[in-house]
Amino acid sequence: MATSEVKVLGSWPSPYAMRPRIALNIKSVDYVHVDEKLWEGKSQLLLQSNPVYKKIPVLIHGDRKPICESLVIVQYIDETWSAGPSILPSDPYERSVARFWAAYLDDKWFPAAKSVGIAQGEEAKKAAIAQVEEGLALMEGAFGDCSKGKCLFGGDEIGYLDIAFGSFLGWLRVTEMFNGMKLLDEDKTPGLVHWADRFCSHGSVKDVMPDTDKLAEFGKMVIAKIRAAAGATEMH
């Protein structure tokens, strides 16, 4: 397949934009990654490709219509390139469980993790960290159930929930760095600690996972902008 047939509109710091790239790597599909510098403005290609949300990632497959939303794209990739390794579980119940936890991560857990960096005051930060830790405890249990004693949520190979959760590991490391603490802890979440190491070293992931220091610098810029905007709002 020619590389021009598949494009991913993404941005290197985005955990959501990592997901389709990992899925394409798993399927051994050649693709072009179009890095959207969102802090400088959104490209016309992005606005035309995702006119509803105007967000990354977007998968453009040949002359077909664009596919939007990261987990929807991962499912599309799994179904379109079905000859490669399966990403979603074949069992309907296991597939529904993976989708449930992926939705939890996006709707509840990662928003709590993001709020740690912008929390105003120590009490607010402690409350946000407690939410993150509670979520990690839940995911430790989910890992035990889904992995069936193997090293990944998907068993022996990276699956849907590995991609959904693993895409957040870069930002989790940054959160740990900013707060001088370990959120993935060998005593509290031993399964997730070993899973994270295995996931990040996987061939389909290691070239896509952003460098922690680079991500931290970007995070500082984002936090500064958010706080500056909040301060300007308070002055009006």
Residue 230 predicted with pLDDT over 70: no
pLDDT (tens digit per residue) in 73-116 = 999 999 999 999 999 999 999 999 999 999 999 999 999 999 99
Q: Which of 136-140, 211-215, 230-234 has the lowest mean pLDDT?
A: 230-234
pLDDT (tens digit per residue) in 14-31 = 999 999 999 999 999 999
Rounded to an integer, the average pLDDT of 67-78 is 98
Token pair recorded at residue 114: 């993001």
At 34, the pLDDT band (50, 70, 90 cuts) reads very high
pLDDT (tens digit per residue) in 130-163 = 999 999 999 999 999 999 999 999 999 999 999 9
Rounded to an integer, the average pLDDT of 48-66 is 94
Rounded to an integer, the average pLDDT of 41-64 is 94
Q: Which residues contact 177 (CB under 8 A, 6 or more apart)?
A: 212, 216
Q: Which residues contact 34 (CB under 8 A, 6 or more apart)?
A: 7, 8, 9, 10, 43, 45
Supply the pLDDT for residue 225. 82
Q: Which residues contact 84 (CB under 8 A, 6 or more apart)?
A: 26, 27, 28, 29
Beta strand pairing status for 32-35 and 58-61? unpaired
Rounded Cα distance between 58 and 61, Å, is 10
C-alpha 35: how far from chain center = 16
Which domains occur in the chain, in start order?
3-80 (3.40.30.10), 92-213 (1.20.1050.10)
Supply the pLDDT for residue 96. 98
